[in-house]
Structure 1
Amino acid sequence: MLPELAHGDFVIVSKFYKSLKVGDLIVAEHPEYKSIIKRIVQVSAEQGVLLSGNNSASVSSEKMGWISSKKIFGKVIFEFNAKK
């Protein structure tokens, strides 16, 4: 599976969102991988969110672990694919 976003693509991110749900694309700060854009696959009030990439070469959810809601920068509200 190809990545949804490629080098040169742009996203617009909002820090102001009511809630996050499975399927949302977010920007978060990961302690090992730094700034990441990933899709939410699970939401937990206690643990935060579990993320996944669309590409088979992406870092697995198990390796990334849970991301605290405090580490979420914002929700992607628009994607512009430069090469499509």
Structure 2
Amino acid sequence: MPIGLYRINGLSMSPGLAPGDYVVTLKRWKSRYRIGDIVVAQHPQFGRIIKCIRAIQPDGMLWLEGTHPDSTSTDKMGLMRRERIQGRVIRSISQSTM
């Protein structure tokens, strides 16, 4: 099971995740993502992003959104293929507790 550690750089998921925070992700080969999961993905245009799954289309494509009002949403990014998901966030580490 690949485990990842990523540092938050933007405001996309604030106030829950702020710049400087870290997230730990877990990716299983047969992962079943659910609406509400926070995931790290590799977007072809925007690079590594962290977003929340808001909808799963019948073809398995994912609708991703941030929690911050100014976050780039799927309206601008396009739907995300499951294969681009690097892992589901299983733990966050706030910089204020470090």
TM bin (shorter chain) = 0.7 to 0.9
Equivalent in the alignment of 1:42: 55
TM-score (normalizing by structure 1):
0.87
| Counterpart among 77, 80, 83 of residue 64 in structure 1 | 77
Larger strand proportion, structure 1 or 2? 1
Distance 2:51 2:27 in 1: 15
1:12 is aligned to: 24
Cα RMSD for the two superposed structures:
1.9
The structure-2 alpha-carbon separation of the partners of 1:32 and 1:3, relative to structure 1 and needing over 3 Å to count, comes to farther
Can you give the 5+ residue segments of structure 2 that lack an aligned partner in the other structure? 1-12
Question: Which residue type is aligned with residue 42 of structure 1?
Answer: A
Q: Equivalent pairs: percent with the same residue?
A: 35
CA distance in structure 2 between the aligned counterparts of 1:35 and 1:2, rounded to whole angstroms: 16
Q: Which moved more, 1:33-42 or 1:44-53?
A: 44-53
Q: Which runs of 5+ in 1 are unaligned?
A: none
Number of corresponding residues: 84
The Cα shift of 1:82 comes to: 1.6
Query: AA paired with 1:10?
Result: Y
The one of the two structures with greater contact order (alpha-carbon pairs below 8 A, sep at least 6) is 1
Q: 1:52 deviation in Å?
A: 0.2
Query: Which aligned segments of 4 or more residues in structure 1 are displaced greater than 2 angstroms?
Result: 1-4
1:7 and 1:15 mapped to 2: Cα distance?
23
1:30 aligns with 2:20: no
Q: Normalising to structure 2: TM-score of the pair?
A: 0.76
